[in-house]
Amino acid sequence: MKTFEEWIIIANKTFNNKYKYNKIFKKDKYNFFEIVCETHGIFEKKIQNHILKQQGCSLCSKPSRLTNNLFIDKATKIHGDKYDYTQVEYKNGNTKIKIICKEHGIFVQLPQNHLKGQNCPICSNRFKFTNEIFIEKAQKIHGNKYGYAEINYINNQTKIKILCKEHGYFNQIPMNHLKGNQCYKCSNIVKTNDDFIAKANIIHKNMYIYDKTNYKSARKKVIIECTIHGEFTQSPNDHLNGCGCQRCSIL
């Protein structure tokens, strides 16, 4: 039979020191931990379920049940102070909410689409008018790295032809280009862990934590931490092409 200290060592390895453990006690013939979650306080869990099934704090395990405040916090990280969320009544990712565009007024949108970067419809249509507006936005993000003489901007999902001054022409979805995605050959020029993290922070706007990332190659998965849902694994190639936390993407 393991001692309390031995169980704590195993639990800390399992949950990466996430919890504190007050004691072990018996209830209904089973051994339980009394555990302290720094966010939600004390809870009890069977040792077997906690260690073998990796069951933790039940409140932490349901982050997808966003409150208004959590939704607004995530939306503000993506859109800045462009929108007013005082009329938001968040229920789930597929129930439309009211959002106030500070320029064009109230519009309704699916929360999951808003968190994917969709904007006020009038704002979005404004950027469909000319190639020049797209080029102006792209150059603010990428500088003079690319040439846009061959683009024919239709909408943010129809690929356009862009010239990388180092590797030649490539096709890319405009929305992804304005998110910071680069020429595919440029995005694969990553030699060190620091290179990867620097590029990832530019593309994802410092949304993720890379303390446990250990870059080996473009396709060997690395550990990335989402500030909302915790750790997940992903190939560097996918991450540098704009993919992020899978759980965030289904909200």
| pLDDT confidence of residue 63 | 47
Measured at the CA of 200, the angle between CA 179 and CA 144, to 5 degrees, comes to: 55
Answer with the residue of higher pLDDT: 2 or 89.
89
Taking only the tens place, the pLDDT of each residue in 20-69 is 999 999 988 889 999 999 888 899 999 989 988 888 888 776 544 567 88
Q: Two tokens at 108?
A: 């309704």
Answer with the residue of higher pLDDT: 180 or 142.
142
Sign of CA dihedral 12, 16, 21, 27: negative
Residue 211: pLDDT band with limits 50, 70, 90: very high
Q: Two tokens at 85?
A: 């969320």
Contact call for residues 101 and 109 (beta carbons, < 8 A): no
| pLDDT confidence of residue 66 | 63
Q: What is the pTM of this model?
A: 0.32
Helices (H), the chain: 4-15, 47-51, 68-79, 111-114, 121-126, 131-142, 174-178, 184-187, 193-204, 236-240, 246-249
Contacts for 236 with CB less than 8 Å, ≥ 6 apart = 190, 196, 200, 215, 217, 218, 219, 220, 222
Q: Two tokens at 16?
A: 């990466």
Q: How far apart are CA 70 and CA 67, in angstroms?
A: 5
| pLDDT confidence of residue 207 | 86
What does the mean pLDDT of the chain come to? 85
| pLDDT confidence of residue 112 | 85
- Strands in 168-172's sheet, in edge-to-edge order, are 146-147, 160-164, 168-172
| pLDDT confidence of residue 132 | 83
Percent of the chain with pLDDT over 90: 29
Taking only the tens place, the pLDDT of each residue in 88-139 is 988 887 789 999 998 888 999 998 889 888 888 877 765 455 788 889 889 9
Q: How far apart are CA 231 and CA 179, in angstroms?
A: 23
Please report, for the chain, the start and end positions of each structural domain, with discontinuous segments joined by +: 4-51, 68-124, 129-182, 188-249
pLDDT of residue 150 exceeding 60, the answer is: yes
Contact call for residues 19 and 37 (beta carbons, < 8 A): yes
